[in-house]
Structure 1
């Protein structure tokens, strides 16, 4: 073996091994001091990426648990306030039942009504002031709330809380109950066939079936609707009101008030009353003798009103000194959804809007929206229309826009906006080619008439955002909907008050006729909530509004703020309104309770996931102290041995000196 001094291979090897043991010692000491196996990317690049992703998930899950806890706190705050609202409504119902009893005087009922008014105010105060973390939660401003209950985007649980004040509670649901306007129940010769009228896309008459107003029994039509339309139950509601106030005093002897109900099967039922001393006694006796077939009440104007369900009409005779002359009896068709879903009434392929109007319907029954029928001339007087319990003031003039302005003047109180609405149908069956006039004007916008009717529809809809008008082609009819205030074809111009009527000719080569033109007031709820509308005769004429979501007995349409139990009839009506309000509150409390329970399950699941992911991360990044302690001991021994061997290796070249002696 050669002996050299320029290269000490054993020293270099000892240095290399000492460096390795020193690195191992440093790694073991770092892991033992931090408790982590991975202290940097050099330790485990893939493991570091995985553990960081798990850390993000764990921290997100832990925050999601806190979010769910906050959501539960918000729900519990709302539920606590709703519990008090429930107690208030229960007390109001108790007072209403008390006031409905015939043993109480007018003064007694006035005292009971005073407490009810205070309770209504407290109901509003609770709705306006209940808040969580600075957010009002019962005044309708909260709307839909999304709780982030997951570690990833869009992992949310949503719930909504509507407006719970006295103007909203009690009105029922416009999506599940649809009531036509008061009509004579097509006593004319309106003829129906298959697809004349559709409900939820289903014809009310089957193939081969027909029904003609004034000839066929109305009960047959109700029966056909209930047979042919799935998911909806049809019934009727009839009402008649005296044209003047009366005293209710009947002349002693043989004078008798007879009320005749015209049943749906063509038969009649009569109720006779005599020997009353005042209007209150008359109402009480009618309700007693009626045995549940009908309901009597006296309005604020002192007029007697008789109402009944599932009848086609009501007549009263021999009302000497009691109610004066009776107004024409009107009736309505009520459609009730079997599962609470929306009820949509529309004309079929062979129907028209006039057919719908005969039944008191228009083609819009969305929740929170009420469309008027064709509006007539006249000026709106103060109190003609009441929306959500707020009386609308007088209009400045006789135009439809004046009426809209009057309604919007109180929109801050009603939470309802009014707009002018128009629906125009033009028969274009005689028009197949291009228009002689290249373009025309619609609400100030120039519309190119195109090569044919289809192109015309496309061109109208292309600028609907500017005109507010949409066009559809249904068979031979071009239908324009919106605020059709002005339309000009060639040299012919049709101008109307917000589109209540329209007549136009396209060109000399081929003319068209207006098949149907109607317009009126359209009411839209700011929050999408049901709208309560009460109109008198003049109000209905001026606005064209259908009181399509109201009934005299408060089944739906009337709100808690309209309750007045100062009369027995008012107390009877109040019971139905309060029952609807309690249903609304109970349904909301049930929904909130379900969400609360869901959040608790969610929290348990999130905690379990966080625990398991934390365990997985621990196995990846945490140091095993047993292993690292052994590594440290090994590296320390190697360090000591390496240092000793390095000293020996460095001393080895000195042995060469013995050769030089």
Structure 2
């Protein structure tokens, strides 16, 4: 064996082993002191990435559990408040049934019952306005779209909504279960007048909930000849789930003093659908409250008189017309209103009235309705630029007064006025226009000379069809803002515009017979004759107001009496995210037997609405509890998996530490021996 002193191989080897032992000892000590197997990426690069992803999931799951528990707390807060709302509604129903009993009089007994009834109405609103969780009001409609993040990753949510539980919304169900049209003009014989000229409604012309109001092969309904009883009976016989009635609503702003003295009297006259006339008179009154009480006592359920927001209102069912004659100055003037066709859902399901495959806008307009296929939307009739400016109290939307800021009244200024307060009402307005062209033959329409908003929409070829004309109109929508569809022998025009100019030549063989619009009907022999030519500027269809709820809350329209229907094209109504509604409980009272009877049905709908909401909240609560159990289970199993990757095994690490310590001590001893080995060379040299 060679002996060298420049390179001590044994020492180098011992140093290497001691270094490894020191490192292993340090690693074991770090793991034992931290309790973690992975203390840095060098310990396990792949394991570090896996464990960090697991850590994200575990922490996300734990936060999701907390989120779900917060959601349960929110739901329980809302459900507890709705429990009290239910109790209030039950008491209101009890009072309504009591007031409906014939043993009470209006002026004393029912007035006392109504006093408590009105206080309970206010309590429902107070609950809706003040029930909060973490600063958020729960029952005012602002929580209709709640998303709870109950997962560790993005978009792992549970969504639910809490509807508006105020009196303005309660009682209207969750769908458009009541619809009322505009006034229908009648002759003395209870038939329609010029509002229905040229219109006959047959099978599949007008559908309610997909059912024709005229049965197959049935006799067509001709407004100018048939009585309204025939219409109501036809709907009730042919449409399942919907009941039709006639309702007259006469109202006027109170400008009088409520006093009836001497020979003065107030007369309510009801012209019934069967042409009979009933009159009711009262004398001697000192206030509007007494006027209302005496009229309701005299009417004995034939009509209902009330004072609502400063207006005197008389409502009667089954009438063709209701009028009020003020013989003095109690009210401040006479009132008259024609019947409206009222449709009521038998079970609270939606009511949708629309044109059938052979129907027209004129068919719907004759019945006092407009077709709207958009949710949360209400459409009015046409408004001309000659309309008056809306003033204080003329139009209120969702309780906010709408006033035009300009003295130059127009549809545009009215739209601007509505949109100026949309942040308060939640309602946006725009213009819309609808018209219908009725042609007299089935083919060859060249030479009609049709002009839409000053743009030629005529078909050039000699063999042009209605489809050709409609296609030509739609090709120029960018210029006119109008689109066209075909229904039978009619072309129906629609667009978002304040007016529509239509012109054409009726002298050709296949002429335009009729032009029917929102508020304008031009028939052959009327404004446009069969021998004259229509000009683009000669026939202007006025656009109407189209209002849409931005957040799904109901649209409540309250109209004053200073502006006529021609000035706003609207009727008082409530419109939800799904359509038009009837009465809500905030407008109810039980100061008459008739109102008490009506309030029972309205309150029943309100209770159903609250029950449905509570049922949904209860279901979400249970779902969240199951979700929490699942989240905690997943978190537990993931934590166990991460522990196997990250956490130190103390038994193994203790053994590793002992081994490293022994090796370090042995290595140090051997390093000492290796370093002393070169001394043997000196012995060789000395010898």
Interval of TM-score (by shorter of Structure 1 and Structure 2): 0.7 to 0.9
Is structure 2 residue 683 aligned with structure 1 residue 658?
Answer: yes
Mapping of residues 425-574 of structure 1, within 5 Å: 425-426=436-437, 454=471, 456-461=473-478, 469-474=481-486, 477=491, 479-485=493-499, 487=501, 517=541, 519-533=543-557, 539-540=564-565, 542-546=567-571, 557-574=582-599
Unaligned runs of 5+ in 2: 253-257, 261-268, 284-290, 323-333, 461-467, 505-516
Cα distance in 1 for partners of 2:85, 2:112 equals: 21
Cα distance in 2 for partners of 1:338, 1:363 equals: 22
Aligned to 1:2: 2
Measure how far apart 1:146 and its partner are: 1.4
- Between 527-536 and 409-418, the greater mean CA deviation after superposition: 409-418
In structure 2, the CA distance between the partners of 1:93 and 1:210, relative to structure 1 (3 Å rule), is same
Question: In the alignment, is the contact (CA less than 8 A) between 1:175 and 1:367 conserved in 2?
Answer: no
Q: Secondary structure at the match of 2:96?
A: helix
The two structures have a TM-score, normalised by structure 2, of: 0.70
Cα distance in 2 for partners of 1:298, 1:483 equals: 40
Measure how far apart 1:51 and its partner are: 0.3
Measure how far apart 1:616 and its partner are: 0.8
Is structure 2 residue 630 aligned with structure 1 residue 605?
Answer: yes
Aligned to 1:149: 150
Aligned to 1:307: 317
Mapping of residues 332-351 of structure 1, within 5 Å: 332=341, 334=343, 336=345, 340=349, 342-351=350-359
Q: Secondary structure at the match of 1:363?
A: coil
- Between 386-395 and 566-575, the greater mean CA deviation after superposition: 386-395
Is structure 2 residue 304 aligned with structure 1 residue 297?
Answer: yes
Aligned to 1:114: 115
Measure how far apart 1:636 and its partner are: 1.3
Mapping of residues 581-596 of structure 1, within 5 Å: 581-596=606-621
Cα distance in 2 for partners of 1:366, 1:178 equals: 15
Pick one of 243, 246, 254 that aligns with 1:235: 243
The two structures have a TM-score, normalised by structure 1, of: 0.73
Cα distance in 2 for partners of 1:273, 1:186 equals: 21
Q: Secondary structure at the match of 1:239?
A: strand
Q: Secondary structure at the match of 2:111?
A: helix
Aligned to 1:292: none
Mapping of residues 414-433 of structure 1, within 5 Å: 420-426=431-437
Is structure 2 residue 647 aligned with structure 1 residue 637?
Answer: no
Question: In the alignment, is the contact (CA less than 8 A) between 1:520 and 1:545 conserved in 2?
Answer: no
Question: In the alignment, is the contact (CA less than 8 A) between 2:501 and 2:537 conserved in 1?
Answer: no
Cα distance in 1 for partners of 2:300, 2:220 equals: 34
Cα distance in 1 for partners of 2:191, 2:571 equals: 16
Measure how far apart 1:60 and its partner are: 0.8
Cα distance in 1 for partners of 2:148, 2:378 equals: 33
In structure 2, the CA distance between the partners of 1:408 and 1:42, relative to structure 1 (3 Å rule), is closer
Cα distance in 2 for partners of 1:426, 1:387 equals: 34
Aligned to 1:229: none
Measure how far apart 1:5 and its partner are: 2.6
Aligned to 1:136: 137
Aligned to 1:191: 200
Cα distance in 2 for partners of 1:68, 1:61 equals: 10
Question: In the alignment, is the contact (CA less than 8 A) between 1:423 and 1:484 conserved in 2?
Answer: no
Cα distance in 2 for partners of 1:389, 1:579 equals: 25
Measure how far apart 1:605 and its partner are: 1.4
In structure 2, the CA distance between the partners of 1:208 and 1:515, relative to structure 1 (3 Å rule), is farther
Measure how far apart 1:622 and its partner are: 0.9
Cα distance in 1 for partners of 2:404, 2:469 equals: 46
Question: In the alignment, is the contact (CA less than 8 A) between 2:249 and 2:339 conserved in 1?
Answer: no
In structure 2, the CA distance between the partners of 1:281 and 1:76, relative to structure 1 (3 Å rule), is same
Q: Secondary structure at the match of 1:372?
A: strand
Question: In the alignment, is the contact (CA less than 8 A) between 2:205 and 2:356 conserved in 1?
Answer: yes
Unaligned runs of 5+ in 1: 227-232, 248-256, 263-267, 289-294, 317-324, 491-497
Aligned to 1:352: 360
Q: Deviations over 1:369-390 (max 9, x none)?
A: 2222456997689878776678
Question: In the alignment, is the contact (CA less than 8 A) between 2:433 and 2:542 conserved in 1?
Answer: yes
Measure how far apart 1:53 and its partner are: 0.3
Measure how far apart 1:628 and its partner are: 0.9
Cα distance in 1 for partners of 2:100, 2:408 equals: 42
Cα distance in 2 for partners of 1:328, 1:175 equals: 24
- Between 167-176 and 146-155, the greater mean CA deviation after superposition: 167-176
Pick one of 339, 356, 362 that aligns with 1:330: 339
Question: In the alignment, is the contact (CA less than 8 A) between 2:380 and 2:545 conserved in 1?
Answer: yes
Cα distance in 2 for partners of 1:14, 1:99 equals: 107
Aligned to 2:371: 363
Question: In the alignment, is the contact (CA less than 8 A) between 2:382 and 2:519 conserved in 1?
Answer: yes
Cα distance in 2 for partners of 1:601, 1:87 equals: 30
In structure 2, the CA distance between the partners of 1:48 and 1:539, relative to structure 1 (3 Å rule), is same
Measure how far apart 1:13 and its partner are: 2.2
Cα distance in 2 for partners of 1:647, 1:52 equals: 45
Q: Deviations over 1:485-520 (max 9, x none)?
A: 365889xxxxxxx98559999xx9998999995644
Q: Deviations over 1:307-353 (max 9, x none)?
A: 26xxxx7799xxxxxxxx9978735252639784x544332342210
